[in-house]
Amino acid sequence: MKKKLKEIPKFKTEDEEREFWSTHDSTDYFDWDKAECVVFPKLKPTTRTISLRLPQSMLDRLRAAANKRDVPYQSFIKMILQDRLDQEFKASK
Geometric angle at alpha carbon 57, from 51 and 62, rounded to 5°: 70
- Residue 1 is predicted with a pLDDT of 60
Share of the chain above pLDDT 90, in %: 71
3-state secondary structure of 71: coil
pLDDT beyond 80 at 61: yes
pLDDT(46) > 90: no
Backbone Cα Rg of the chain:
23
C-alpha closest to that of 78 among 66, 89, 67, 70: 66
Q: Which of these CATH numbers, 1.10.1220, 1.10.10, 2.60.40, 3.40.50, describes 40-93?
A: 1.10.1220
Q: What is the mean pLDDT of the chain?
A: 92
The residue extents of the domains of the chain are: 1-36, 40-93
